[in-house]
Amino acid sequence: MKLTVVGCSGSFPSADSACSSYLVEADGFRLLLDMGNGALGELQRHCGLYDLDAIFLSHLHADHCIDMCAYFVARYYRHEGGRCGAIPVYGPEGTEQRLTTAYADTPSSSSMSEVFDFHTLKPGSFEIGPFSVRTEKVSHPVEAYAIRIEHGATSLTYSGDTGVCTALDSLASGTDLFLCEASFTHGKEDIPDLHLNGREAGQSAQRAGAGRLVLTHIPPWTDPSANLTDARAVYDGPVELARPGAVYEL
């Protein structure tokens, strides 16, 4: 299983990174986790525009899904080869309607479904291509999911956006790589059920017994080095900051 960080800026893009988007590949299958602002451009550095096989949207905040509107254009109005077939898109209740509204003038209210096969997420286990996945609802102001992806004997867990929650700890239990958000700074922001800070991400990784921790979704106004230090203080395993283009072979 190979993980590529397409974009990792939290909440809004930075000068150096698009918003949340991560490419997971195995056996020639390409699953994209989230497609936030700017991700579609960056994605083309790592994967052909039409080479995705499935998309998972953790929640419907713009920094996780808004480039799906641009990707609709690319698939629906493809110049060569005609309109693309529908690839599976897993998202919270109302994903199709939200994206259709965001795009504003799709030819019809069902146009999105011509190029995206929408599946409504619920907590549970299912298969996406060669991956066994498990999803859990996490603590965020809107319906939001974390996902654990297993392939053979390896696993990675992606938090999406969340505050501290036991569902996340149990989902990440024993995972090889924990891609966990750390939007806030310990001692600076303290808003429950919204985001984690570096210390909380480290504590979650420690409770889960994760093999390694990659901190992501750090907004441009947050000092990443503070979050890295805070996570290292409470987690025994290796910790690093996600960066655009980083590749992890699992």
Binding site for Zn ion (CB under 5 A): 61, 63, 161
CB of 101 to Zn ion, least distance (A): 18
Tokens 């024993």 -> residue: 174
Specify the residue, 17 or 106, whose C-beta has the smaller distance to Zn ion. 17
In angstroms, what is the minimal distance from the CB of 45 to Zn ion? 22
What amino acid is encoded at 176 in this protein?
A: D
Least gap, CB of 178 to Zn ion (angstroms) = 17
- The residue among 168, 143, 158 whose CA lies nearest residue 217 is 158
Q: Which is nearer to Zn ion, 26 or 121 (CB)?
A: 121
Write out the DSSP string of the chain. -EEEEEE-BSSS--SS--BSEEEEEETTEEEEE---TTHHHHHTTTS-TT---EEE-S--SHHHHTHHHHHHHHHHT-SSS-SPPPEEEEESTTHHHHHHHHH---SSTTTHHHHEEEEE--SEEEEETTEEEEEEE-SSSS--EEEEEEETTEEEEE--S--S-HHHHHHTTT-SEEEEE--B-TTT---TTT--BHHHHHHHHHHHT-SEEEEE-B-TTS-HHHHHHHHHTT-SS-EEE--TT-EEE-
Q: Which CB, 61 or 199, lies closer to Zn ion?
A: 61
- Residue number, 142 or 247, with CB nearest to Zn ion: 142
Q: How far is the CB of 248 from Zn ion (least distance, A)?
A: 21
- In whole angstroms, how close is the CB of 168 to Zn ion at the nearest point? 14
Nearer to Zn ion, 7 or 106 (CB): 7
Nearest CB to Zn ion, comparing residues 63 and 67: 63
User: Shortest distance, CB of residue 12 to Zn ion, whole angstroms?
Assistant: 9
